[in-house]
């Protein structure tokens, strides 16, 4: 058994190697595990049908030869019916068949979830097997099915199938802990194609769409910053469906607002590299400001500043 420090270093090494894997290696590795899971569940599906048929045949043979000889009578005192997994108790065959049917039903559901069909059904009614969850829940279900089968005395084919499913369940739980909820999106073929075609990352913003629309020509010094909803502009399809281009005027702003784009009026400011005004302009502005305030000024200074012109 490894010491705790060695186990910690081993786990860090495994996580580091996984983080260094690129997207293509992750896609291929997760899909290989996915294919093996489907194969293991198909084997368990077939072995469960075989076990159910074997149990029914064993029970029928037991009921037909119940009172013939001493060996059959001695088998009545056994815990299980000979050659089957059926307990020797009232309604034992019923619960054995129900257990096999439940395993078959669970394997069918897990195979459909691994094939991502129908994914909308799993997202709405069984979200732990949907696209928003990882492979940890899938691994738990696989381990439960494998442990249920391995807890009985079965034939070699059923034993190997259940052990194979249990091993893949442990692997899916490990991958679920590593990749968490992004495991199914990393192995999805459709999302892989979308990411290969996309140039910019897509962002899903759940916030409501507000539009700040201001007129094209604003004569005032203050700008309206009150947010407006896109529904205030009416229906875009009924008004602008027959127009190919709307330009940069009022109609273009309305159309952009209906599509969800946020429009903001740029602040009116001078660039930082602009040179300051000449001294005579500053004197003239100061003089006009004093005249506006009603302050007395010398007549000669006033006439000289008012007549000054830039060269």
Of residues 246 and 236, which shows the higher confidence score? 246
Alpha helices in 151-244 (DSSP H): 156-179, 183-187, 189-197, 236-240
Give the rounded percent of residues in the chain with a pLDDT score beyond 70. 59
Mean pLDDT of the chain: 76
Vertex 72: Cα angle to 69 and 75 (nearest 5) = 150
Could you tell me the pLDDT band of residue 214, with boundaries at 50, 70 and 90? very low
Could you tell me the pLDDT band of residue 10, with boundaries at 50, 70 and 90? low
Residues 212 and 284: their CA atoms lie apart, in Å, by 39
pLDDT digits (tens, 9 = 90+) for 258-308: 776 766 666 666 666 666 656 666 677 777 777 777 776 655 555 555 555
Of residues 238 and 13, which shows the higher confidence score? 13
Of residues 103 and 185, which shows the higher confidence score? 103
Residues 289 and 277: their CA atoms lie apart, in Å, by 16
């Amino acid at each position: 058994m490894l010491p705790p420090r060695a186990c910690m270093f081993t786990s860090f090494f495994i996580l580091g190697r996984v983080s260094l894997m690129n997207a293509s290696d992750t896609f291929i590795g997760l899909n290989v595990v996915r294919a093996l899971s489907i194969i293991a569940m198909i084997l368990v599906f077939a072995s469960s049908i075989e076990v159910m048929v074997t149990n029914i045949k064993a029970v029928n043979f037991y009921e037909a030869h119940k009172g013939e000889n001493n060996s059959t009578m001695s088998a009545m005192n056994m815990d299980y019916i000979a050659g089957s997994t059926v307990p020797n108790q009232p309604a034992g065959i019923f619960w054995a068949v129900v257990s096999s049917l439940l395993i078959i039903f669970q394997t069918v559901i897990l195979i459909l979830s691994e094939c991502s069909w129908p994914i909308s059904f799993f997202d709405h009614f069984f979200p732990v097997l949907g696209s928003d969850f990882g492979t940890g829940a899938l691994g738990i279900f696989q381990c439960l099915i494998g442990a249920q089968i391995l807890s009985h005395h079965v034939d070699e084919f059923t034993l190997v199938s259940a052990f194979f499913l249990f091993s893949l369940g442990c692997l899916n739980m490990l991958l679920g802990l590593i990749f968490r909820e992004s495991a199914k999106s990393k192995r999805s073929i459709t999302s892989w194609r979308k990411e290969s075609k996309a140039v910019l990352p897509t962002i899903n913003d759940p916030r409501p769409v507000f539009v700040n629309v201001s007129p094209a020509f604003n004569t005032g010094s203050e700008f309206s910053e009150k947010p407006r909803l896109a529904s205030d502009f009416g229906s875009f399809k009924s008004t602008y469906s027959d127009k190919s281009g709307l330009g940069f005027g009022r109609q273009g702003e309305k159309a952009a607002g209906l599509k969800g784009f946020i429009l903001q009026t740029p602040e009116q400011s001078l660039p930082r590299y602009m040179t300051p005004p000449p001294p005579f302009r500053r004197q003239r502005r100061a003089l006009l400001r004093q005249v506006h305030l009603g302050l007395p000024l010398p007549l000669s200074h006033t006439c000289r500043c008012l007549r000054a012109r830039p060269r």
